[in-house]
Structure formats: structure tokens, C-alpha cells
Structure 1
Amino acid sequence: MRRIGSFLSDAWRIAGPYWHSEERWRARLLLGVVVLLNLSLVGMSVLLSYWNREFFNALQEKDAASFWSLLFWGKVTDSGPMPGFVFVAALFILIAVYQLYLRQALQIRWRTWLTKQVLDRWLADRAYYRIALTDPGTDNPDQRVQDDIRLFVEKTLDLGFGLLRSVVTLVSFVFVLWGLSGTATILGIEIPGYMVWVALLYAVIGTALSHWIGRRLIPLNFNQQRVEADFRYALMRLRDNAEGVALYGGEADEKRGLTARFQALIENWWRIMVATKRLTFFQYGYTQVALVFPFVVASPAYFAGKIPLGGLTQTADAFGQVQGSLSWFVDSYRELTEWRATVVRITGFLDAIGAARGATQAGTGVRAEAEARPDLALDGVTLALPDGRVLIEGASARVAPGETVLVTGPSGSGKSTLFRAIAGIWPFGGGRVEVPKDASVLFLPQRPYLPLGSLQRAVCYPRSVTDFSEAEVRAALSDAGLGHLAPRLEEEDAWDRRLSGGEQQRLALARALLLRPQWLFLDEATASLDPEAEARFYQLLRERLPGTTLVSIAHRPAVAQYHARTLRVRDGRLEAAPA
């Protein structure tokens, strides 16, 4: 019970905020209308059970007038006015259609709200980046945002309304069945409403057996979502790195990797199939027996002439409704296992986001001082890897506005990690990093990030395309040596695959010329350019952005001539040296 309570608490932790959000009144109104329509459907089912009794009694008595009246215009019976079937069916269809339509409207609104909330938390404090550092076990965040949230909302509403309808159906039909059952004498003991107790016993045994047979599906469904996402991610990686794979001729190795991931998916699926087969054997047997079981139990009274054919069919229908309501757990077991797996994955993701955001407050962090300062300051900064290995220890330095500084050192010495610390995204280490308050900063890594969408968006990133005129964007592309791309500004393409490495770095230069940051950090941002293009790159920066502070990481000695001084990383220390 404690595990169930903990699980339900996790489910409410995901679901609860929506019902208290800014959309709460619209959501509650939609929910109330859908609940009302569901209750109406149950009421229609009760009405149909009485109509069914009168209809079969008319057949038994060969009463043609009652038969046609019950089909079309209705009649007055001993139970009261009974509408014709055509009216009941038309109303039932209308209610069922709008119940589904409004439930889907609630579903998409809830999913939209929850997706936005999770995205906000994932993107805040750069948790999307830190999460890979603080919790590498959190796999496939894209799948958790896109697929798991969809499944959670869908399953929560399906199971919730299913449970509600089962409870209301149980309450509605249990009195009908109690009145129809009469009293049975077993071992000299009179049992009133005996068919109600038979239905309860039948459902309890079915529920216990369902859980015992199907409990293996819970971990298997969780693992299936993970291996499906792993396989999809591997396919995406191949697509995004198609050129590199082709140049290496790595098709055979990629096939081995994809096959291994797909094999893991298939093996888990086979285990799900076996577990599902066992559960399905039981569920179908349980359902088939339930079809005739009430007739068997009620048949002695029918053959003794105590109830007519219509009474027998109504008794069987009422028994089926009560037994079906009590068997909600049996019928929904597979959906419950999928829902539980989804809840576990989402809560695990939210916990990982919380841990990643919490890391922002620990280790090295960029903090704007209350009093704005003009320079960049590092005081006793120590940078380490997630495994604890120290890269740089006790680094202290100052960079004044407008300076040009080159950072050098062997590969793997911690230069790029130093930039990450300045950007405020590296949580491992200690010390203090201070940057000018409200200064505009731009980092250009060796492989620029090009977002999905138009070329114009890629140039303007991370600003909006509406912040710049088309003429400004064209001029920036022309200055960066990409004038031939200017006619394609509105064209949407996978630009990170369409452009060569050198063209991508030229596009990053165009971005810097367009955004005109006060502080510009270049991490091997010219590594894919030839020496002449690299020289032109730095000359343009100095000509067009004369007041911008420039801090570069580079290995080529020729780059030093474009910087006034050098900071060298060597043996875990950050040392100043003349350029």
C-alpha cells in the first residue's frame, strides 16, 4: 500500500498543478461537462436495461403492437413511460460523440499546458545542458517531453473517466440487481441480493489473479519506452552525422550499433508479448465466462417460472454491468502498467531537472554584482570534471572592456571548460566568476549551433528575425563571405548539414557582426578556415566591432597577432604571458 500511495502521490505531483493553474476554470468547466456527459451515458444504460426487459417480454408474448411501439414511438409500461428505441439511440449517440469530442479538447489543452511547463523548467537555468552532467542516467529527454507527457495525459483521462464511469455504473446497477436477485438459501442461510455478492466475489478473484499474472508488465513497459527511445535516438544521430559516417565508411559499424539497439527493443518486446499472452488468456477467459455466468445463476428462477424472459435478460445485463464495474482493474490492467511506467519516467525527468537546476547554486557560477563592474574577473577558480579530476586550480585573472585576449594550452587542459564556467553552465569546481552586469555576451564554439528553420533565423540566432532588417542580414552574410547565400534567406533547410564546416564558421562570424556583442568569446571558432580566411575573420571583427572585448581560444600561432595578451593554461594553472 505504501508503494501505491507513493505512486499516486507522484501522479498527482504531475497532474495537480494544472487544475490550480491559470487555466483552472476552463479546465474544470470542461472536466465538469465531460463528467456530466459520462453520467448521462450511465443513465442511458440504466434506461436501456428497462427498455430491454420490456422489449424481450413483448417478444416472449408475441405482442407485435408493443414490439413496434418500443422500437419507434414508445409506450406506457408498468415501470412508467418508455421512449422508443430510435429516440434513445439518437440521444445516446449524440451524448457519446460530444463526450469524446470535449474529452479530447481537455486532453490537448492539458497536454499543451503541461508541455510548456516542463519545457520552461528544462530550459531554465540551462538545465537541459547540466542534466547530462549531473544525471547521465536520465535518457532521451526528447521522448519524455514529447511522448511520455502525451501518454500521461491520455492515460490519466482514459483511466480516470473509466474509473468514474465504473463507480457510477456500479452504484446505479447494484440496486437494480439487488431488486432482481431476490433471496437465495445456501446451507440454510438466506442471502438477500445474492447475485450482487456473486458478482463481487467474481470480480475480487479476477482482480487478484490479474495482478498476479500481469505484474511483470510494469517493469517491462518502462523498459520498452526506454529502448524505443534509444533506438530512435540512434537513428537521429546517424541522420545528423551522415557525412561523417560516409567519409569514414562506417556503415557496417553503424549497422551493428543500430541492430544491437533494435535487438534490445525486440527482446524486451518478446518478453512483453509473453507476459501479455498470459494476461490475455486470463482476461478473455474471464470475460467469456462472464457472458454466460449470470444466465447460469439466474436460470433456475426462469425455468421455475418466477421471472419472464425480459426479467432474465435484465438480470443478466445488470449482473454484467455490476461485474464489469467491479472488474475495472482487470480490464484496465495493461493500461495501468503503461500509465505507471509513464509516471515514473516523467517524475524521474522532473527530479533530474531539479537536481540540474540546483547545481546552478553550487560550484563555479556566474553572478552579476549588485554594483555593475566593467571587467571580467576570475578569483580562485577551480574547474573539475564530473569524476572529480581537477583541470584548472586556483585561477585568477582580469579582462578589461575592449581588451583582446588569447587563451592557449594543450588539448584537454580545460580551456573550453573555462569558457563554460564564464558562461555559467559548468557546475563542477569552486571559486568566483564575475561578469559585467547587463553586458551583451556571445559565445562562438568550434561547431556553431544552427537552429531549425530559415537561414535568416540561423544568422539572427539567438535573437528574433524581427530584430533585424533583411538588408542588415544580407550585409552581414556578404561581409562574412557568404553573399551567395543571401537569396536563400527565407529558405528552410537543415543548414547544419547543408553547409560545410568552414561555411558554418563564416555564418557564425556573420552572426557576431549582426548582433554586435560587447563581449565575444571564440572557442576554436576559426579552426575550419584556411589561414587567409582566418586572418580576414579577425580583421573584420576588429574593424566592425572595435569596442568589443575579444577572448579567443586557438592553437594556431598566427592568431596571437590579433590579441594584445595571452593567458596560458599549463599544468593545471592559468598563467599570464605576453602575446
Structure 2
Amino acid sequence: MPPQASPQSYRFALRHFYSLAKPYLVSEEKKKGWGLLLLVLAMNLALVWVNVKLTQWNGDFFNALQAKNFGAFKQLLLYFTGYAFLYIALAVYSQYFLQMLQINWRRWMTEVFLKDWLAGGTHYRMSLRQGNTDNPDQRIADDIGGFINGSLNLFFGFVSSLVTLFSFLVMLWMLSGAVTLFGITIPGYMVWVAILYAGVGSVLAHWVGKPLIRLNFYQQRYEADFRFGLARTREHDEGIALYNGEQRELAGHRDRFANVWSNWWGIMKRQKLFTWYSAFYGQLAIIFPILVAAPRYFAGQIQLGGLTQTAQAFGQVQGALSWFIGAYTSIADWRATVERLQTFVEAMQNAQSHPPTPTAPASAGLPSDRSSSAAIASAGVVPLRSARESVALG
């Protein structure tokens, strides 16, 4: 069963994340890792600063247009050019250094997992034990990369949203003024509207998107089972052909792909509903702040630049508060990936500390190394390929 989306499960996921991430952050590559991490973080914070300056520029620019001030118009265009080039450079290199950190971390973590998995026959003992670990190839090939990329993207997204929220809250509070409802004066009313809008949106997004956690969990498992079955067929192709087992293999592959098919349709239906909601929410967010601030503009309390600046600041606050909506499926996938990797680590540790009891006595004369044709032949067993070669030569 997939991990349930509860506060306790998220606490466990964070605890497991720490145990998975800590070895790299204290390893021999910690200086490079921490250096890249802090560099990308600084660039993300600089991007927030540029967004603040561009929002302020937006207000001044539209005020200059409304006043037909050509001198201010030309000067503001020069400012915009500088901000735009700075934003582009930060966006490009923050992504570049983030990818550098991702691949360095993945290379180190993959090496550690491969050594642990192949050390002392751990991979073989794991295959003999009953447990929840399935498809170790997917854990190493896919989940390590998914864990690293998901963790970093969520971390930087959360930090950027948090800094954006506090940066634009102050601006929106100063721009929105006060409104009187039922005899009560509400200062900074646009801030409260943004909080309400994002809060309701996040609750609805959680309700609509929650089933995607379970569906995505099973989809990854079904895809891995189908791929593993195909790999097993390729591995045992000779025996399957010898015993005419093609029809049985075909039936097994069909059954496994039927799970992929049916679960995918469940994802499609739920994703369609979630896309309906998120698209509606996003489109409404474009016009909603203008509608809320328009009464002050038509009352002459703010200029056109103040209206556009208020709308942009509202959008930044609402976007930061709604970060959970955009990252919902990413959080769900990340949590499932963390749990699968942690389960794999625990399975390796159990296999290393508690080897299974041999099912056949050593005196049977059959070697444990199945790859050694010489040892098998010495036990009186002729490998199938060797027998065929003998017939062909004889």
C-alpha cells in the first residue's frame, strides 16, 4: 500500500530524507556540494529582488505613460533593460549550477548504493528474503535521481516562495490602503483578500489532487513490474524457447500491462479534474486582483501605475501562498520516492546483518556461484549452452 498522506507520514518522510541526504552533505565532496547549494540559493534570492524592482518599475512606467512624461519613459526603458539582462543571467546560471549539483550528488549517491547492494552478495540475499523491496534496478537507476531532483526543486521553490511572500506582503500592504465593510475599517485589505484566495485555493487543490498520490504510487510499481517481467523473459529466453513457454510468458505480460492500462486511466481522469481546477484558478488569478483594486482607481485614490503595481504585487503574494498548489503532485511523488529509497536501504541493511538460512546443504555439491560453468560441470551438471555447443561440434 502507498504511504498515506497524513502529517505523521510527512514527518517520517522528512526524517527519512535527512538520513538519505546527510551522507553526501558530510562526505568528502561536502565543500563542492555546499558551495553549489549556497550559490544557487543566493541566485534564487537575487531573482526575488529583481522581481521586486520590476514590480516597482511597473508602477512608475504606467504612471509615466498616464502623465505622458516622455523623459521618464526613456529613463525607465533603460532601467528595464538592466533589470531584464540581470534576470536572464540569474535564471540561466541558477539552473546551470542547480543541474551541476544534481548530477554530482547523483553520481556520489549511485556509487554508494551500488557498492552496498553488490557487497558480499547482498543483492542475492535480498532476493531470497520476503519483504516490501521490489525492482532494485529502478531504485538505483530512477529513484536516486528522482529523490535528488525532487528534493532540490522543492527546497528552492519553498525558499523562493517564502522570501517572495514577505517581500511583496509589505509592498501590497502599502499599496492596498484600507476599506470599510459594515462600519469596520480593514487596513491592507488586499493582503487579506490574497490570503483568503490562496487559502481556499490550496484546500480545494488538496481535496482534488489527493487521489493522485495513490495513483502515481501504483503506476510506478506497475510500470516497474511490467519492465521487470520483460527483462526476466530476455534473461531466460533460452529456457522459454526450449520448453515452449511463449504463450505463458505472453499471458503474464498481458496481465501486468493490464494493471498499467487500468491505473493510467485512473490517473487520466483525476488529472483531468485537477487540470480543470488549476487552469480555472490560474486564469481567475489574472483578473481577480484588478477587479478588487479597480474601485480605488475609479475613485481617484490611485493612478494607473498604482493599479498595475497592486495587481502585480497581489499576484506575487497569491502565487507564493499558492505554492502548494503548483507543487502538489511534486510533493506527492517526492514523498513516495523517499519512502521507496528508505525501504530499499533498510532491506540492504537487513540482508547484510541477517543472512537467510541456506535452503540446501553445502554437501550437495552444488556451487553457490551460478556463473561458474567450471564449478557446475565439476558437480556433474552440464550447462545448457555448453551441451548445445557440444552437440554442434560433435
With normalisation by structure 2, the TM-score equals: 0.90
Structural mapping, 1:233-252, within 5 Å: 233-252=228-247
Percent of residue pairs bearing the same amino acid type: 46
Check whether the contact 2:132–2:343 (CA below 8 A) recurs between aligned residues.
Answer: no
Alpha-carbon deviations, 1:477-497, whole Å to 9, x = none?
A: xxxxxxxxxxxxxxxxxxxxx
The one of 289, 292, 301 aligned to 2:287: 292
Distance (whole Å) between structure 1 residues aligned to residue 275 and residue 333 of structure 2:
15
Q: Secondary structure at the match of 1:306?
A: coil
Q: What amino acid maps onto 1:61 in structure 2?
A: A
- Is 1:145–2:151 an aligned residue pair? no
Check 1:254–1:198 CA distance in 2 against 1; reply closer, same or farther (3 A cut). Answer: same
Check whether the contact 1:218–1:340 (CA below 8 A) recurs between aligned residues.
Answer: no
Q: Secondary structure at the match of 2:186?
A: strand
Q: Secondary structure at the match of 1:190?
A: strand
Check 1:523–1:14 CA distance in 2 against 1; reply closer, same or farther (3 A cut). Answer: farther
Tell me which residue corresponds to 2:154: 159
Tell me which residue corresponds to 2:42: 36
The structure carrying a bigger strand percent of its residues is 1
Q: What amino acid maps onto 1:33 in structure 2?
A: L
Deviation at 1:226, TM superposition (A): 1.0
Deviation at 1:91, TM superposition (A): 1.3
The one of 120, 123, 127 aligned to 1:132: 127
Q: Which runs of 5+ in 2 are unaligned?
A: 1-6
Distance (whole Å) between structure 2 residues aligned to residue 267 and residue 179 of structure 1:
53
Tell me which residue corresponds to 2:22: 16
Tell me which residue corresponds to 1:307: 302
Check whether the contact 1:134–1:355 (CA below 8 A) recurs between aligned residues.
Answer: no
Check whether the contact 1:216–1:275 (CA below 8 A) recurs between aligned residues.
Answer: yes
Tell me which residue corresponds to 2:4: none
Q: Secondary structure at the match of 2:308?
A: helix
Q: Secondary structure at the match of 1:220?
A: helix
Deviation at 1:238, TM superposition (A): 2.6
Check 1:289–1:299 CA distance in 2 against 1; reply closer, same or farther (3 A cut). Answer: same
Deviation at 1:231, TM superposition (A): 1.3
Alpha-carbon deviations, 1:508-541, whole Å to 9, x = none?
A: 58xxxxxxxxxx99444545556xx8xxxxxxxx
Deviation at 1:353, TM superposition (A): 1.0
Choose between structure 1 and 2 for higher RCO, CA contacts under 8 A separated by at least 6 residues. 2
Alpha-carbon deviations, 1:152-208, whole Å to 9, x = none?
A: 111111111111110010111111001101112222222211111111111111111
Tell me which residue corresponds to 1:482: none
- Is 1:4–2:13 an aligned residue pair? no
Distance (whole Å) between structure 2 residues aligned to residue 279 and residue 12 of structure 1:
31
Q: Which moved more, 1:98-107 or 1:339-348?
A: 339-348
Deviation at 1:9, TM superposition (A): 0.9
Q: Which runs of 5+ in 1 are unaligned?
A: 73-82, 364-382, 386-390, 396-406, 408-413, 421-442, 450-504, 510-519, 534-579
The structure carrying a bigger helix percent of its residues is 2
The one of 107, 112, 115 aligned to 2:107: 112
The one of 176, 179, 195 aligned to 1:181: 176
Distance (whole Å) between structure 1 residues aligned to residue 268 and residue 10 of structure 2:
25
Deviation at 1:254, TM superposition (A): 2.7
Q: Which moved more, 1:241-250 or 1:152-161?
A: 241-250
RMSD: 2.5
- Is 1:62–2:68 an aligned residue pair? yes
From the CA coordinates, give the structure whose radius of gyration is larger.
1
Structural mapping, 1:47-58, within 5 Å: 47-58=53-64
Alpha-carbon deviations, 1:31-78, whole Å to 9, x = none?
A: 111000000100000010011111112222233333233223xxxxxx
Tell me which residue corresponds to 1:577: none
Check whether the contact 2:377–2:383 (CA below 8 A) recurs between aligned residues.
Answer: no
Distance (whole Å) between structure 1 residues aligned to residue 379 and residue 46 of structure 2:
65
The one of 194, 197, 200 aligned to 2:192: 197
Distance (whole Å) between structure 2 residues aligned to residue 68 and residue 306 of structure 1:
26
Q: What amino acid maps onto 1:328 in structure 2?
A: W
How many residue pairs are counted as aligned between the two chains?
384
Structural mapping, 1:326-475, within 5 Å: 326-360=321-355, 383=358, 385=359, 415-416=365-366, 419-420=367-368, 443=369, 445=370, 448=371
Check whether the contact 1:184–1:192 (CA below 8 A) recurs between aligned residues.
Answer: yes
Check whether the contact 2:10–2:335 (CA below 8 A) recurs between aligned residues.
Answer: no
